[in-house]
Amino acid sequence: DTGVSQDPRHKITKRGQNVTFRCDPISEHNRLYWYRQTLGQGPEFLTYFQNEAQLEKSRLLSDRFSAERPKGSFSTLEIQRTEQGDSAMYLCASSAGQLGEQYFGPGTRLTVT
Amino acid sequence: SQELEQSPQSLIVQEGKNLTINCTSSKTLYGLYWYKQKYGEGLIFLMMLQKGGEEKSHEKITAKLDEKKQQSSLHITASQPSHAGIYLCGADDTDKLIFGTGTRLQVFP
């Protein structure tokens, strides 16, 4: 296993368009997290899954954002009607249960023009 | 809500010098994690501290959690260009991590 992967690595979209990102966690990890990071800031928690169940969502996650993890494997994060303020790095992480040891993917950098 | 403050925000050191990065929490820490991030990339887990007074080392990096569990420090001995990056502390916050704003480290020859 080569670690957590994310696709695409970069996405440029026009305001108002929908975008979808994918995260493939380490195969034996049951927890999957999404974070958002803007320039000069630490990552901010968005949501997390234990297996296929979405257990918590941050208030940062407006109704334009939706995340899924069908069958408890890969996850997708969709942003509808993108806004310029959505421009950020979207990071995915997975863990085998112990909270702190999260393994991060390389991130998807979103630019909304 | 819990907040983490890191200092300094930025650090430029000459290769071979020692340095320390601090992370202070507004609440008691029940788990403190240090990560490193290269610009534009994901985070790499470095160390986890849970007990007051705990100290862990990996190669030339040592992290400590104070007895009161509200502050942690990361010390790098004899810095090298490979140590350059952004160092982030993270804390348990009920099933998720919250992060400090990071310390950007540059090491010049």
Residues of A in contact with B102 (CB under 8 A): 40-42
**Terminal CA-CA length for chain B:** 41
- Find which of A44, A92, A99, A102 to mutate to test the B interface (most B CBs within 10 Å of its CB): A99
Task: Count other C-beta atoms under 10 Å from residue B94's C-beta.
Answer: 9
What is the block-wise mean pLDDT of chain A (113 residues), using blocks of 10 residues? 90 98 94 94 94 88 93 94 96 82 93 98
A chain contacts of residue B42, beta-carbon cutoff 8 Å = 4, 91, 93, 104-107
pLDDT computed for residue A1 by the predictor = 55
Domain boundaries, chain B: 4-108
Tell me which amino acid residue A94 is: S
Closest CA to A79 of A62, A59, A99: A62
The pLDDT value recorded for residue A100 is 64
What letter would DSSP give residue B18? -
Distance of CA A77 to the CA centre of its chain: 6
Residue B96: the pLDDT is 84
Residue B5 forms contact with A (CB below 8 Å): no
Residue-wise pLDDT for B31-88, tens only, equals 899 999 998 888 999 999 988 899 999 899 999 999 888 999 999 999 999 999 999 9
Instruction: Give yes or no for a contact between A72 and A85, defined as CB atoms under 8 angstroms apart.
Output: no
Nearest CA in chain A to B30: A100
The CATH number given to B4-108 is: 2.60.40.10
Cβ contact A99–B92 (<8 Å) = yes
Q: What are the residues of chain A with a beta carbon less than 8 Å away from any beta carbon of chain B?
A: 4, 33, 40-45, 48, 55-56, 89, 91, 93, 99-107, 109
Confidence of residue B92 (pLDDT cuts 50, 70, 90): confident
pLDDT tens, B12-21? 999 999 999 9
Query: What is the model's pLDDT at position A28?
Result: 87
For tokens 């918590």, what's the residue? A56
